[in-house]
Amino acid sequence: MLGDLAAVVLTAGAVGLDHRLAAGAAAVLAVVMGQRLAGAQPVPRPVVLGLRQMAIGFGVVVVTTIGVLLSPS
């Protein structure tokens, strides 16, 4: 819970410094909410969990990159 709160606060701070990061902040918020909703399920095997986390991380990077490239300077 504390890690989720820290992620949201830090992304809000990043958007405050550079508005072009708003898409990435929205992606982080979506990930936090999704993981909270999925938290009631049993934890998958470590390899599956690791692959999911890696895919989610890459997804956040892609969304942030696209948001930065498409936003006006």
The 3 state secondary structure assigned to 11-35 is: HHHHHHHCHHHHHHHHHHHHHHHHH
Question: pLDDT value at position 73?
Answer: 74
pLDDT tens-digit map of 15-42: 999 999 999 999 999 999 998 888 778 8
The answer for residues whose C-beta is within 8 angstroms of residue 24's C-beta and 6 or more apart is 11, 14, 60, 61, 63, 64, 67, 68
Question: pLDDT value at position 6?
Answer: 96
CA-based nearest residue to 20, from 56, 65, 57: 65
Q: Structural domain of residue 10, as residue ranges?
A: 2-70
The number of CA neighbours under 13 Å toward the Cβ of 4 is 11
> Considering its fold, how many domains does the chain have in total?
1
pLDDT tens-digit map of 36-57: 888 778 888 999 999 999 999 9
Question: pLDDT value at position 40?
Answer: 77
